[in-house]
Amino acid sequence: MNINEVVDNSIQTFTLNLENKGFLLNTELHPNLPSVMADKEAIAEAFINLVDNAIKYSHERKEINIRTGLVQNAVFIQVEDRGIGISPKDQKYIFDKFYRVSEKNLANKVKGSGLGLAIVKHIMDAHKGKAEVESIPGSGSVFRLTIPFSKN
């Protein structure tokens, strides 16, 4: 499976939504990524979930950066936003089922079940990959999906 193809096809599904909401979308796709053995629809679902969250949690600075690349024996998809960010204490739990960030005013403003990132983690676990986050409250978040590839 070509990870850039999945990202490109997925981007087409939400480009109009991003434009309507005034978002700037930047993409930087690595040109020579190896193929990975993965479920194309599942990886697309995980990626779209991250972009959907970036849209939901970016209120003032509406910019999303999407990158693909190579790290060790894996390819990655990275989604970076300039949204509200996630506190360090919440970062530990955001991939747990039904977990919602603890800031009351935020939980009331953004609808969700707390399942999206748990599904992302489940998809990555099924592919022996990783779902990771780096975030600074008030500055935004960077989510990275890493999928190993075979060197054969």
pLDDT tens for the chain, residues 1 to 152: 999 999 999 999 988 989 999 999 999 999 999 999 999 999 999 999 999 999 988 878 899 999 999 998 999 999 999 999 989 988 888 888 877 676 544 544 565 566 889 999 999 999 999 999 999 998 999 999 999 997 65
Radius of gyration of the chain (CA): 15
For residues 9-26, one letter each, b for 16 or more C-beta atoms within 10 angstroms of the residue's C-beta and e for the rest, the string is ebbeebeeebeeeebebe
The residue extents of the domains of the chain are 3-148
User: 0.85 cut: is pTM over it?
Assistant: yes
Distance CA 15, CA 34 (A): 26
Report pLDDT for 98: 73
Of 48, 143, 146, 132, which Cα lies nearest the Cα of 92?
Answer: 132
Of 69, 56, 76, which Cα lies nearest the Cα of 141?
Answer: 56
Pairing of β 24-28 and β 63-71 = parallel
Instruction: Please tell me the CATH superfamily of domain 3-148, with its number.
Output: Histidine kinase-like ATPase, C-terminal domain (3.30.565.10)
How far apart, in Å, are the Cα atoms of 144 and each of 16, 68, 77, 139?
Answer: 24, 9, 6, 17
Backbone angles phi, psi at 43, to 5 degrees: -65, -40
Cross-strand partners of 78:
67, 144
